[in-house]
Amino acid sequence: MSPAFRSIGQVLDLLKDEFADVSISKIRFLESQGLIDPERNQSGYRKFTEADINRLRWILEQQRDHFLPLKVIKERIDEQEFDNSDGDRPASAARRRNRSRPNPLDAGAVSVSLTVDELASTSGLSLSDILDLQKFGLIEPLGNARYGHEAVIVAKVAAGFLAHGVEPRHLRAYKSAAEREAGLLEQRVMPLVMQRSPQARRQSQDMLADLIDLGSELRLSLLRGALAHHAQSR
């Protein structure tokens, strides 16, 4: 069982294997910047609770994994992206989204119904390009040969790719990756979906939204890693 309080030296011993650059002076500096606020005993020595350590670990993770400056981390703490109601552990993606982020499953109150010519005009693509996007399964008409909101987004993004010489046929890899990811996420939420209750449905929607957010962050990080050699200083 963990002790109720730890000294700053004990906290350092606890975290130094996980965070190579942590030091007593750094912990003191984070305190001076208002990011952590451990209690003190009658002799003035700091007393770190498990909640204090969880918060400190989260701050160090934001610096190490996301390269965030302290100002941004402080803002996130102030905006309660760090959940003080549950042992000072990071709030779930669903709770953060409820505060300030859109649900990635929600297209918003957007109702669009465009003909193929209107879609081409809106996106800046040629009719041939639009038909290629449909040929490769990247867009589909909703009915009556009309296209909805998602088709508009895909067409506009495809136009950006085309400006760099990436043609619709090259974008099939994104379609295949999205279908594989969707299959993985559907497997995870299927037990909730099968319960067929309103509460389970809400839970499945929250879980899907969380998983989509996590997948987006993971893909971006992996892509940065794969292309890191192109980002090196010249």
Q: Which of 109-113, 115-119, 189-193, 224-228 is predicted least confidently?
A: 109-113
Q: Which of 128-137, 168-177, 189-198 is predicted least confidently?
A: 189-198
Q: How far is CA 177 from CA 130, 141, 182, in A?
A: 21, 21, 9
Burial class of residue 223 in the structure, from the number of CB atoms within 10 Å of its CB (0-12 exposed, 13-18 middle, 19+ buried): exposed
Q: How far is CA 187 from CA 104, 182, 208, 211, 218, in A?
A: 18, 9, 11, 12, 19
Query: Is it the case that residue 90 has pLDDT exceeding 70?
Result: no
When pLDDT is averaged across residues 65-69 and rounded to a whole number, the result is: 79
For the chain, the distance separating the N- and C-terminal CA atoms, rounded to the nearest angstrom, is: 52
Q: What is the pLDDT of residues 204-213, one digit of tens each?
A: 888 888 888 8
Mean pLDDT in the chain? Answer: 84
HEC profile for 156-169?
A: HHHHHHHHCCCCHH
Q: What is the pLDDT of residues 187-229, one digit of tens each?
A: 988 988 888 888 888 888 888 888 888 898 899 899 989 998 8
Query: Is it the case that residue 87 has pLDDT exceeding 90?
Result: no
Query: Is it the case that residue 101 has pLDDT exceeding 80?
Result: no
Domains of the chain: 8-91 (1.10.1660.10), 116-172 (no CATH), 177-227 (no CATH)
When pLDDT is averaged across residues 93-106 and rounded to a whole number, the result is: 55
pLDDT value at position 200? 81
When pLDDT is averaged across residues 5-32 and rounded to a whole number, the result is: 92
Q: What is the pLDDT of residues 30-56, one digit of tens each?
A: 999 889 999 998 888 999 999 999 999
Q: How far is CA 33 from CA 66, 75, 136, 221, in A?
A: 19, 12, 53, 29
Kindly report the pTM of this predicted structure: 0.56
